[in-house]
């Protein structure tokens, strides 16, 4: 355990809106000391004054309803605010709308279907947009839009929007599956690929894009707007010591154990950092299913591979664990030779080629079990003990990386039980746990503000040079409690 820094809660802005996505993603503008927060419930971007982070105060809002349904993401660079807005029919093309820091409209351009996340390149010359392309009445292709702002936002036209498409992979589905890319039967690769989150490498040349349901990261050359490679992430072997998890919400106990199960990493958020002259990326391995998930007790297990199948299928063991029904029948005989669960209840560090260099193993469940034994694996909508053990557990969803002094840290948000895990990742192959923050009060009704923060959806790191206090800050936006909370990051004086 590394005790180099300590995070302390400073202040909070609360919308008072429960379970409506009233605080999802945030972005910070250093010059104005303003925080821009996606409020899906109100179809707005809330503008908060963060000049005193102990009392974040709403000063204005940007209504996005005239451009579509709701905003999904916001990013800021050099005083320019970019907002991703999905269409009323989410399968139609969405928009990216640009504003100044006062919320004054500047320009908008059309992008792909369901723009779910966007980010600037480090120099601010481009905006990259993850167009998830989720199916509705039709299944649109997923894609990444790259908006060129080098000529200035006032001169922006649709001609400045390039598309990194996945259509070149259509027809190669069988080979891609053999390589480890997860593609649903009956779908083309471009239809099935659903870009979730984007991280740009520090030099601004390459983007790493999570294709969550496909258990893959796509690599994009930004200058040419082309997908240069796919990096299947493989699987985590939960039968190995240190990779255990609690698989049942019906065993009336904390039971972090090894199981004959493979975890599909399926990351949501991703962030890049540099170490020793090399680029690495960090993933929050949430997991996500469509409609193909089944409980283990409802599957026929191969009797040779699983001679203890009857015992495994008991509810207090693996019986209620949510696994994939389209993965695991390796010999095509109709029974399951392997079990694949969603997510890995961990965060991971990967090199730029997609090789795993570190995984946090069973840390998240071990740490939350120790600190919150009475509410272990609770959901974000209730305080019930063990509620999420059969389905992705704490569900790490958000991740951001920041530098404090000469050290690099990863901050990982746990969607279900809540809170943020902090790790020192200065040495990518050997990260160290630093702190777990969770201000949730499990004695309170979850619908009351006194329950604390619920469902961290987004994390924003504010470097010391940009901070209103002169010290680094972490901002956590919580979609269930509708709250935005600031944390000070300071040297840990007790470090000895």
Q: Considering the chain, what percentage of its residues have pLDDT values greater than 90?
A: 98
Q: Kindly tell me if the per-residue pLDDT of 176 is higher than 60.
A: yes
Of 394, 380, 433, 395, the closest CA to residue 411 belongs to 433
The average pLDDT across 145-171 equals 99
In the chain, the percentage of residues whose pLDDT exceeds 70 is 99
Residue 298 dihedral angles phi and psi, to the nearest 5° = -95, 5
Over residues 230-252, the mean pLDDT reads 98
CA distance 207 to 188: 23
8-state DSSP, 186: T
Give CA–CA dist 57/402, Å, rounded. Answer: 25
CATH fold, domain 5-288+343-491, is Methylamine Dehydrogenase; Chain H (2.130.10)
Instruction: Report the C-alpha gap between 246 and 277 in whole angstroms.
Output: 38
- Residue 492 is predicted with a pLDDT of 87
Question: pLDDT at residue 136 above 50?
Answer: yes
Distances (CA, A) of 346 to 5, 70, 219, 243, 471: 21, 30, 22, 9, 28
Q: What is the C-alpha separation between 113 and 122, in angstroms, rounded?
A: 25
**The token pair that represents 143 in the structure block:** 């894609």
Nearest-angstrom CA–CA distance, 255 and 15: 37
Backbone angle region of 403, left / alpha / beta, with phi > 0 → left and psi within -120 to 50 → alpha: beta
Q: Tokens 């809106």 map to which residue?
A: 17
Q: pLDDT class for 496, splitting at 50, 70, 90? A: very low
Q: What SS3 class is residue 290?
A: coil
pLDDT digits (tens, 9 = 90+) for 77-123: 999 999 999 999 999 999 999 999 999 999 999 999 999 999 999 99
Hey, how many other C-beta atoms are within 10 angstroms of the C-beta on 136?
A: 13
Which residues on neighbouring strands pair with residue 96, listed in sequence order?
Answer: 84, 109
φ, ψ of residue 228 to 5 degrees: the values are -90, -25
């Amino acid at each position: 355990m590394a005790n180099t820094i300590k995070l302390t809660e400073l202040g909070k802005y609360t919308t008072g809106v429960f379970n409506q996505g009233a605080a999802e993603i945030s972005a910070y503008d250093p010059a104005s000391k303003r925080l821009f927060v996606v409020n899906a419930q109100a179809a707005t971007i809330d503008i908060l004054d963060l000049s005193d982070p102990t009392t974040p105060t709403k000063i204005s809002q940007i209504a996005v309803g005239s451009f579509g349904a709701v905003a999904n993401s916001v990013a800021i660079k050099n005083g320019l605010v970019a907002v991703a807005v999905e269409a009323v029919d989410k399968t139609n093309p969405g928009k990216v709308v640009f504003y100044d820091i006062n919320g004054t409209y500047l320009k908008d351009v059309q992008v792909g279907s369901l723009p779910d996340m966007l980010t600037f390149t480090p120099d601010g010359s481009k905006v990259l947009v993850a167009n998830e392309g989720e199916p509705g009445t039709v299944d649109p292709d997923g894609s990444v839009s790259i908006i060129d702002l080098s000529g200035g936002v006032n001169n922006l036209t649709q001609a400045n929007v390039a598309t990194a498409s996945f259509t070149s992979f259509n027809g190669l589905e069988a080979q891609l599956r053999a390589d480890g890319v997860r593609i649903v039967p009956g779908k083309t690769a471009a239809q099935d690929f659903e870009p979730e989150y984007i991280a740009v490498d520090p030099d601004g040349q390459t983007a790493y894009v999570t294709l969550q349901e496909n258990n893959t990261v796509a690599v994009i050359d930004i200058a040419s707007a082309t997908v240069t490679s796919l990096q299947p992430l493989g699987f985590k072997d939960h039968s190995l010591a240190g990779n255990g998890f609690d698989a049942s919400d019906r065993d009336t106990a904390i039971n972090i154990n090894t199981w004959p199960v493979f975890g599909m990493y399926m990351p949501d958020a991703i962030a890049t950092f540099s170490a020793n002259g090399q680029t690495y990326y960090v993933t929050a391995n949430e997991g996500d299913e469509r409609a193909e998930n089944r409980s283990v007790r409802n599957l026929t297990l191969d009797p040779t591979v699983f001679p203890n199948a009857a015992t495994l299928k008991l509810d207090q063991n693996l019986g209620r664990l949510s696994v994939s029904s389209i993965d695991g029948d390796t010999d095509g005989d109709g029974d399951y030779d392997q079990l694949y669960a969603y997510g890995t209840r961990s965060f991971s560090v990967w090199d730029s080629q997609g090789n795993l260099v570190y995984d946090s193993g069973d840390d998240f469940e071990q740490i939350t079990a120790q600190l919150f034994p009475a509410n272990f694996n609770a959901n974000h909508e209730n305080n019930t003990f063990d509620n999420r053990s059969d389905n992705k557990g704490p569900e790490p969803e958000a991740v951001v990386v920041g530098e404090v002094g000469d050290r690099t840290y990863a901050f990982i948000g746990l969607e279900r039980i809540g809170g943020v895990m902090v790790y020192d990742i200065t040495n990518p192959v050997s990260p160290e746990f630093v702190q777990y923050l969770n201000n949730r009060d499990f004695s309170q009704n979850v619908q009351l503000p006194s329950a604390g923060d619920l469902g961290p959806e987004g994390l924003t790191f504010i470097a010391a040079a940009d901070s209103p206090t002169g010290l680094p800050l972490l901002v956590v936006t919580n979609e269930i409690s509708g709250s935005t909370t600031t944390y000070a990051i300071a040297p840990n004086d007790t470090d000895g």
